[in-house]
Structure 1
C-alpha cells in the first residue's frame, strides 16, 4: 500500500526527529517541529509558529522550495476524514493573499482530527 500511496500523492506521518538535520538551518531559535508528513519527496511540517510546505524539484531533489505560511495568514481550513470507500483524509487551507486553496491528502489512519486540533490551537488563540 505504501507504493500506491506514494503514486497518488497521499501523505504518511513521519517522526519529527527524522527532519532535524534538514530543517535546522531554516528554523528560528526555539522553533521546533510539532508534526510532519511526507508525500513522495515533499514534506508538510508543522511548527509552533508556521506551516512549512516543501517541494523537492528535479531528478535528484537537491533543489528544494520551502513555502512558509505563518499561522496568522491562514484564514480558514477544513478537514475531511477517511471513509469506507474513500480511504484518504484531506486538509484544505485558505491563505490570505494566496489565490487558490492549498490541498493535501493523508492516508487512512493519519490523525486528521489531531491535525485539525493542532491548526485550531494556533489559529484560535
Structure 2
C-alpha cells in the first residue's frame, strides 16, 4: 500500500535529474517505505516469537509422537549439535519455499483458467 500511494512522478523526477536506479531506491523509495518495512518486520518477529512460544508450550515432546521441528532444533542446539540443527532448519526452509512455489503456481494456474474474459 505504501508503494501504491507513492506517486510515480517522484521516481520519474529522480530519473530526469540523473539519479541511478540505486540512488532512486535509496533516496526516494527507501525513505518512503522504511516505516512500513520496520513495522512489518517488528510485527512478523513478534508473531514468530509468540507462535514459537505457544507451540513449544503445547507440544508434549514425546519422541517420535509429538516432537515438533522448532523444539527439535532447540534440543540439537542445546546439545551443541550445530550441524544437525542446521540440517533440520535447511530442510524446513527448502520445504517452505517449495510449498510457497506450489501455492504460487496454483494461484497463477487458477487465475488463467477461471479468468473472466470480455464477451464470455
TM-score between the two structures when normalised by the length of structure 1: 0.20
Higher relative strand content: 1
Structure 1 or 2, whichever has the larger Rg, is 2
The structure with the largest helix share of the pair is 2
* TM-score, length basis structure 2: 0.21
> Of the two structures, which has the highest relative contact order with CA contacts closer than 8 Å and spacing of 6 or more?
1
